Amino acid sequence: MAVKGSRECVSLFTGGDIAMPDHGTDETSRTIVITGATRGLGRALAEGFVALGHTVAGCGRSDRAIAELRQALGEPHDFAVLDVTSDEAVKEWAEGLINSFGAPDLLLNNAAVINRSATLWELSAAEFDQIIDINIKGTANVLRWFVPAMVARRRGVIVNFSSEWGRTTSPEVAPYCATKWAIEGLTRALAQELPRGLAAIPLNPGIINTDMLRTSFGVAASRFPDPRQWAEKAVPFLLRLGPKDNGKPLDVT
């Protein structure tokens, strides 16, 4: 789906049939970094922000999906194959983006995985470690290499994606719950460390019909909005966030 220059997609995210602003001439254009940008919520957000004239940089684990995203969204947007569990790889990626685009206005830590549905004692150490490494350590790696540039500029919003299961619990998803509860605590502590002008927010996106939800809900996941429907609300919601929201656990509304 080619989004850049698409009047249909602009209409979807603005509520009207208007012309897309030329990138680089719109003073309200922002630089937005999204992890896990190739599918689900990340892909829907990337398309939504691009449709509104913002510059998006993102990452994902699949070479094929990143190549498709590059072709679909085009320049000046930047998408890279990245394993967020590698601190060195994240450092190289962040430094390259900061050199090219400057510190991000909006940093979205969306990349996450969920365990297969099983009781905690049925999951192997390797399965447990993967959830911890991507959902917690991956988020920390991204923060480590982007936040200093945002602090130096004294402006920017950091959103770490939590979950309803970061505030409640459910059987057979204990490792995932553990990681999202950790994201809540990590983000609220980070918010206390940031200087005035920045914000860190743990965000519950709500229940969306994604591949991840289907692993737990099965066919019942179809009762919930798909990522593009969700993004119609989420994109403007995220763009409204600012220093006033620092440290607040929020839900997409």
More confident call, 1 vs 92? 92
The domain over range 25-251 is classified in CATH as 3.40.50.720:
yes
The pLDDT tens digits of the residues spanning 82-121 come to 999 999 999 999 999 999 999 999 999 999 999 999 999 9
Q: Where on the phi/psi map is residue 248: left (φ > 0), alpha (ψ -120 to 50), or beta? A: beta
The pLDDT tens digits of the residues spanning 120-151 come to 999 999 999 999 999 999 999 999 999 999 99
Average pLDDT of the segment spanning 180-208 = 96
Token reading at 48: 């939504």
Q: Which residues are catalytic?
A: 176
**Predicted confidence (pLDDT) at residue 164 exceeds the cutoff of 90:** yes
| pLDDT for the residue 14 | 42
User: What pTM, to 2 d.p., does this model score?
Assistant: 0.86
| pLDDT for the residue 120 | 98
What are the residue ranges of helices labelled H in 200-246? Answer: 211-217, 227-239
| pLDDT for the residue 213 | 57
- What's the DSSP call for residue 24? T
pLDDT band at 28, cuts 50/70/90?
confident
- Can you tell me the distance from the alpha carbon of 228 to that of 235, in angstroms, rounded to the nearest whole number? 10
pLDDT band at 221, cuts 50/70/90?
low
| pLDDT for the residue 17 | 35
- What's the DSSP call for residue 77? -
pLDDT band at 39, cuts 50/70/90?
very high
**Predicted confidence (pLDDT) at residue 35 exceeds the cutoff of 80:** yes
Sequence-separated (6 or more) residues with CB below 8 Å from residue 108: 32, 33, 34, 35, 42, 45, 159, 161, 238
pLDDT band at 23, cuts 50/70/90?
very low
**Predicted confidence (pLDDT) at residue 8 exceeds the cutoff of 70:** no
DSSP per-residue letters across 48-71? HHHHTT-EEEEEES-HHHHHHHHH
Sequence-separated (6 or more) residues with CB below 8 Å from residue 119: 171, 172, 174
| pLDDT for the residue 151 | 98
| pLDDT for the residue 3 | 41
Question: Closest Cα partner for 148 from 84, 103, 191?
Answer: 103
| 3-class DSSP state of 216 | helix
- Can you tell me the distance from the alpha carbon of 80 to that of 65, in angstroms, rounded to the nearest whole number? 10
